[in-house]
Amino acid sequence: MFAYERAIRFEDVDAARIVFFPRFFGYCHEAMEALFGGIEGGYVGMINDRHIGLPTVHVSSDFKSPLRYGDVARIEVRVSKIGKSSCRFSYAVYREKDGVLAATVEQTSVLTDLGFENAPKENTIRPIAIPDDIRALLTKHLVV
Amino acid sequence: MFAYERAIRFEDVDAARIVFFPRFFGYCHEAMEALFGGIEGGYVGMINDRHIGLPTVHVSSDFKSPLRYGDVARIEVRVSKIGKSSCRFSYAVYREKDGVLAATVEQTSVLTDLGFENAPKENTIRPIAIPDDIRALLTKHLVV
Amino acid sequence: MFAYERAIRFEDVDAARIVFFPRFFGYCHEAMEALFGGIEGGYVGMINDRHIGLPTVHVSSDFKSPLRYGDVARIEVRVSKIGKSSCRFSYAVYREKDGVLAATVEQTSVLTDLGFENAPKENTIRPIAIPDDIRALLTKHLVV
Amino acid sequence: MFAYERAIRFEDVDAARIVFFPRFFGYCHEAMEALFGGIEGGYVGMINDRHIGLPTVHVSSDFKSPLRYGDVARIEVRVSKIGKSSCRFSYAVYREKDGVLAATVEQTSVLTDLGFENAPKENTIRPIAIPDDIRALLTKHLVV
C-alpha cells in the first residue's frame, strides 16, 4: 500500500460546491505517479525518457461522501492485479481529518509504447510487456 | 438519445499527448447539462435557482481509443434507468471524423438537495424524489 | 474584430463561487484558436502539422465584474499589433446577457518553431517570422 | 518573501507540450494560499468561515522560459503594496532544478465580502477594509 495526501484546491469545487467528480481521478493519477517514485526516474522518466505510458482502459468508481474546499484527500493506492502488459490499481480516497471514505476507484491501465512520432495518426495504443523494474515496483504494492 | 459535440481543446491533452482520461467525464457532464436544456431553466436553473443537483455516486468507463488535439468528440447520451431519486446515464463518446468509439461511460447520479447553507458541515448528500419535469425529461431519453 | 461565445461551465467556478480568474485566459485562448479558423487547417493544423505555435510572452488583464455559473461569456478579439515574429491580441470579455464588461486582456504572443523532437531539452522558444497566410489573417483583424 | 514549490503535473501541459500559460496563475494562487497559512484558519478559513475573498482585479505577467512535465516550479511571493482594501502580490516563478526564471506575475487583489447569499445576483464585488490579522500577515511579506 502507498499513501498520498493532497489538499482540495480552491478551483477543484464546482457550482454545487463540492469537488467535481472527475477531479477524483486526477487525484488518483497524482497518487499513482507518486507511487512510481519508487523506480529510477519516476513516472516523468517513463514518459519523457523511456516513452512509455500507462493509459487507462477501464475505470470504475463509487463516490460515497463529497469532498469540499478545505478538506485534504488521503489516497491509498494498492496494486490489485498484474498481467503481462496491464495492471489494476485500487484506490481508496479518504477525507484526512476524520477518515471518512469519500470514494473508491478501480483502474486498469496498460503499459504502452507512446510512439510519439506516429502518435497523431494512430487510433490504438500499443501494449508492451511490463519491464522488470516496473513489475518489481508493482509487485511491491500488490495486495490480493 | 441526445447527441452533443465538442472539440478537444489545446489544454485537454496530457504529457502523453492524448486526452487526459478524467476529462472524458467532463465531456460527458457537458453533454448531460446540454440534455437538461430540455427543462425550463436548464441545468443552471436546477443548480442556481432550485438548489438541486445531481451528484455522481457511481461511474464505470471503458476507454477504447485515444482522442487527441484536433479531434472532435461526439457524445451520445441515453438514460438507461430511472429510479425514485436516482438515474443512470449511458454515454458513448465517438471521434466525430471517422466514428471510432473512444469511450463508453455508465454513470449513476442521485437527485439531491444541495442545501447550500449547511453544505460545508455535512458529510452526506440528501436524495430527493425526482420532480415531475425532470422525470419527464429523463423518460424522453430513456433507452432500455 | 472577431467574436466568440462560450458558456461558463459547471466546473469553471471556484470556492468563492465566481469564475476562477485564470480560466478567463483559457476562454481568450479558445477565442484566439477560433479566430485561426480563418486559415487552412486552423490552429490545430499549425500545431499538429506545421509544428508552429504561438506561446504567450506577456499578458496583462483587468477584471471588472465577476462571471458566474449560468453566464455566457462573449469574447471579442482584436489584433492590436503585428511585428516580424510577434503579435498582440486585445480581448474584451462581456457577459452576454447584459453586455457588462467582465474583463479586458492584452496578450503578446510569439510565433515559434515548436521543435518537438528537441523540446524537452530546451529552455527557450525559437521565434520565426510570421508566415504569409497567418500575417494576412492577423491583418484582417487588425484594429489600431 | 515566501517560497512555495510544486511539480508540473502530467495534465498541466498543452498540445505544444509546455505548461499552458493560464496554469501559471493557478500555481501563483496556490503559493498565495500557502502564504495565508500564516493566519489562523488560513485561506480556507477566510473563504469558508469569514466569507471574505481576495478576487483579482489586475494581473500582469511576463513569460520568460517554458516549463515542461517533469519540472518543478519554485514560486517566490512578495507583497509589493498594501492599500486600504487592496494589495499587490509580486511572484517570480523559477524552474527549481537550475534556477531559470520562467515567469513573473504582478497581481492586484481586493479584499471582498463574498456575500454568498446574494452573490448570484450581483455584478460587482464589495471591497472591505483589510482586517488586522491579514494586514499583519501581508506586512510581514512586504518588500518595497
Query: Which chain C residues are Cβ-neighbours of A13 within 8 angstroms?
Result: 13-15
Closest residue to D70, CB basis, from A29, A48, A69: A48
Q: From D58, which residue of chain C is nearest by alpha-carbon distance?
A: C62
Given this model, what pLDDT does residue D87 score?
Answer: 98
Three-state DSSP state, A108: strand
For residue A67, report the phi and psi dihedrals to the nearest 5 degrees: -105, 150
Mean pLDDT, rounded, for D34-48: 97
Across the interface, do C22 and D23 touch by the CB < 8 Å criterion?
yes
Give yes or no for residue C118 having a pLDDT over 60: no
Across the interface, do A55 and B125 touch by the CB < 8 Å criterion?
no
Chain D residues 14-33 with a CB less than 8 Å from chain A: 26, 29-30, 33
d(CA A93, CA D108): 36
Number of Cβ pairs < 8 A linking chain B and chain C: 30
Predicted TM-score of the model (pTM) = 0.95
Here the cell at position C10 is 459547471
* Confidence band of C125 (pLDDT split at 50, 70, 90): confident
Here the cell at position C63 is 477584471
Amino acid at D13: V
Q: From A8, which residue of chain D is nearest by alpha-carbon distance?
A: D44
**Secondary structure of C17-34 in HEC code, one letter for each residue:** CCECCHHHHHHHHHHHHH
Q: Which of A36-50, A111-125, B92-106, C54-68 has the lowest mean pLDDT?
A: A111-125
Per-residue pLDDT of chain A (144 residues; tens, 9 = 90+): 999 999 999 999 999 999 999 999 999 999 999 999 999 999 999 999 999 999 999 999 999 999 999 999 999 999 999 999 999 999 999 999 999 999 999 999 999 998 765 454 566 678 999 999 999 999 999 998
Across the interface, do D16 and C120 touch by the CB < 8 Å criterion?
no
- Residue of C10, C11, C47, C51 best to disrupt the A interface, most CBs of A under 10 A: C11
Q: Does A139 lie at the interface with C, CB-CB under 8 angstroms?
A: no
* Of D1, D15, D19, nearest in space to D95 by CA: D19
* Confidence band of B139 (pLDDT split at 50, 70, 90): very high
Given this model, what pLDDT does residue C144 score?
Answer: 85
- Residue of D13, D21, D27, D108 best to disrupt the C interface, most CBs of C under 10 A: D21
Q: From A49, which residue of chain D is nearest by alpha-carbon distance?
A: D70
DSSP E strands in C56-125: the ranges are: 56-63, 72-82, 86-95, 101-110, 112-113
Residue D14, min C-alpha distance to chain B (Å) = 4
Q: Does C97 lie at the interface with B, CB-CB under 8 angstroms?
A: no
For residue C91, give Cα distances in angstroms to C24, C112, C136.
Answer: 10, 22, 19
* Confidence band of C28 (pLDDT split at 50, 70, 90): very high
**Burial readout B104-141 (b: 16 or more C-beta within 10 A, e: otherwise):** bbbbbbbbbebeeeebeeeeebebeebeeebeebbeeb
**Secondary structure of chain D in HEC code, one letter for each residue:** CEEEEEECCCCCECCCCCECCHHHHHHHHHHHHHHHHHCCCHHHHHHHCCCEECCEEEEEEEECCCCCCCCEEEEEEEEEEECCCEEEEEEEEEECCCCCEEEEEEEEEECEECCCCCHHHCCCCEECCCCHHHHHHHHHCECC
d(CA C87, CA C79): 7
Give yes or no for residue C119 having a pLDDT over 90: no
Closest residue to A69, CB basis, from D29, D48, D70: D48
Helix (H) or strand (E) holding B23: helix B22-35
Here the cell at position B111 is 437527485
Q: Does D122 lie at the interface with B, CB-CB under 8 angstroms?
A: no
Query: Which chain A residues are Cβ-neighbours of B115 within 8 angstroms?
Result: none
Across the interface, do B11 and D14 touch by the CB < 8 Å criterion?
yes
Q: Does A69 lie at the interface with D, CB-CB under 8 angstroms?
A: yes
Query: Which chain B residues are Cβ-neighbours of A60 within 8 angstroms?
Result: 58-61
For residue C92, give Cα distances in angstroms to C3, C77, C135.
Answer: 10, 7, 22
Given this model, what pLDDT does residue B123 score?
Answer: 61
Residues B49 and B42: beta-carbon distance below 8 Å:
no
Here the cell at position D16 is 505544444
d(CA C35, CA C54): 13
